[in-house]
Chain A
Amino acid sequence: MYVAVKGGEAAIRNAHKLLADRRRGDRSLPAIGLDQIVEQLALAVDRVMAEGSLYDTELAALAVKQARGDVIEAIFLVRAYRTTLPRFGYTKPVETSQMAIERRISATFKDLPGGQLLGPTFDYTHRLLDPELAEDGVVETPDHRVEAPEHTPRVTDILGHDGMIEADGDMPEGLETGDLTREPLSFPLERDLRLQALARGDEGFLLGLAYSTQRGYGRSHPFAGEIRIGEVEIELEVAELDFPLTLGRIRVTECQMINQFKGSSKQPPQFTRGYGLVFGQSERKSMSMALCDRALRARELGEDITAAAQDEEFVISHSDNVQSTGFVEHLKLPHYVDFQAELDLVRRMRGEHERRESENSETKEAAE
């Protein structure tokens, strides 16, 4: 028998009204604007864009505001929004070698063409809370150094010339680029689909897995070959024009991880690679993505699969925080009928258990 129960409309309405009130908070304080969130909470906006898998700073800021700063809730809102829009097409791949660079570092080469550019980094700060920031003090304008633009080749291209490192990853000839927003995932995956899933995957989950590889669970001896942050141009081919159209520029973070590889029967010893590419300024995420990408290539490189980070189905099935939160949080929803059934079942089992116990003790007594 199925019994439908209704009710709670007024409670829900009032709960949402209360949410709106708490979100606004103390009315004597000015409300924060989306432009303030975009400018001053830029990295939260970047994370929402990356894991929401939708590049639009204003929408991401709105999501952050609506979610009261709950980043995963904001990501959820952005994902829901994207389903309401038609898709115009696939862009040409971004050319990170042509990036307008805002930060670029290599942990493998000190003196590399283009140099080590620190950019706006938290590195080398002392991580001491700054009381001056609590006041609205004047912030100095940054220093300028005017010099001729220098060629900034990718570190992997420098190493690539003498075969010490594998080439950029190729896919089998004629393979159509996978798109997990169009086709449900079916394992095993090709590397392109894995990278798409990792690019939108939860930063915390990927960070934990990346850390696990460093601690020995699927060790891969990584070096940060290069990290670069900056803007790349987006180009789209459209039916009505004979040339690819420039749509604008987006900021991305790219990480080239370089890993040891002892070689196999097919390949000589050389450095292998893991790749990370993420919307916005997100170094931690791009590094974690690159480490996970490399770990997940175990099958391709003929390595033993012994650790969680190497298990494609485990990693990719649990990396999406919207899916994860949906399934974990659905436990809050009414399960009254399910639970009634379980309760009856446990009562019945207990009854049987007690009956067996008493029967056992009777037979024991009889035997004695």
Chain B
Amino acid sequence: MGNEDSSATTNAGEADFGRKAAMALLAQATVQEMKDFWAHWADKPQVETLRGPETGLVMMRGRIGGGGAPFNLGEATVTRATVRLGNGAVGHAYALGRSSEKVRLAAIFDALWQEPAYRQTVEDTILAPIAQRLNDNLEDRRAETAATKVDFFTMLRGDN
């Protein structure tokens, strides 16, 4: 496995950046979102599952003092899958949790994203709504937290 998409080597760094962001969004999609996007995907490719979906663990790490040497904090469940589309494009997906269906579909969308013909559609119809939801959640949380910020005031005493 690896980077089968040879056209991406022209500006690999940029493509990696885009794909990293795309895969990050797919990992944070809900299973319902993935199912809905797949149900609405018009021209469904042939899909061969190369690996998984399988659930395992990752050991997550922290840093001593927040920024020092690493230590092992504890594990999390992770599910991963690898698929190959009819035209040979290979997609991978890894996500926290145990949702096989979500991760299998995410791997398909990762493969589709790598194809120039489909990239824009994946970006617009799948990644954009996920990003919007995540961002709305983040903004909501931030505003709710900001409302609990302490505004200190000083009582003036005496007359000087």
Which positions in A face B, CB cutoff 8 Å? Answer: 49-50, 53-56, 58-59, 82, 85-94, 96-97, 100-103, 110-111, 115-119, 142-147, 149, 154, 156-157, 167-171, 175, 177-181, 191-193, 195-196, 199-200, 234, 236, 238, 240-250, 252, 254, 256, 273, 275, 277, 279
Contact = CB atoms under 8 A, between A and B. Distances in A.
Contact of A247 (B64, B69, B78): B78
B57 A88 contact: yes
Given A93-B63, A247-B27, A234 B92 contact: no
A contacts with B: majority SS: mixed
A339 B89 CA distance: 68
A230 B24 CA distance: 19
Contacts of A252: 62, 73
24 contacts: A53-B74, A55-B60, A55-B75, A55-B77, A91-B61, A93-B63, A97-B66, A110-B152, A115-B149, A116-B149, A145-B146, A157-B67, A168-B66, A169-B68, A191-B71, A192-B64, A192-B69, A195-B71, A199-B74, A241-B92, A246-B24, A247-B76, A250-B96, A279-B74
Given A142-B147, A144-B143, A248 B27 contact: yes
B3 interface: yes
B69 A277 contact: no
Given A87-B59, A143-B144, A236-B58, A246 B27 contact: yes
Contacts of B19: 243
B23 interface: yes
A239 to B, nearest CB: 8
B95 interface: yes
A88 B57 CA distance: 6
A96 B96 contact: no
Interface residues of B, number: 58
Contacts of B28: 246, 248-249
Contacts of B138: 100
Contact of A275 (B57, B64, B97): B64
A80 B150 CA distance: 44
B96 to A, nearest CB: 4
Most buried by A among B3, B60, B144: B60
Given A117-B149, A169-B69, A246-B23, A144 B144 contact: yes
Contacts of A93: 61-63, 70
Given A53-B74, A192-B72, A275-B66, A245 B146 contact: no
Contact of A192 (B71, B78, B141): B71
B143 A146 contact: yes
Given A54-B75, A56-B76, A103-B145, A90 B58 contact: yes
A58 B55 CA distance: 14
A200 B62 contact: no
Contacts, number: 229
Interface in B102-160: 138, 140-150, 152
Interface string B82-101: 10000000001011111000
B36 interface: no
Contacts of A168: 63-68
- Identify the 4 closest CB pairs spanning chains A and B, nearest first: A168-B65, A168-B68, A169-B64, A246-B24
Interface string B16-58: 1101100110011000000000000000000000000011111
Nearest to B75: A54
B69 A171 contact: yes
A136 B144 CA distance: 23
A156 B77 CA distance: 32
Contact of A117 (B1, B97, B148): B148
A91 B60 contact: yes
A142 B144 contact: yes
A246 B91 CA distance: 15
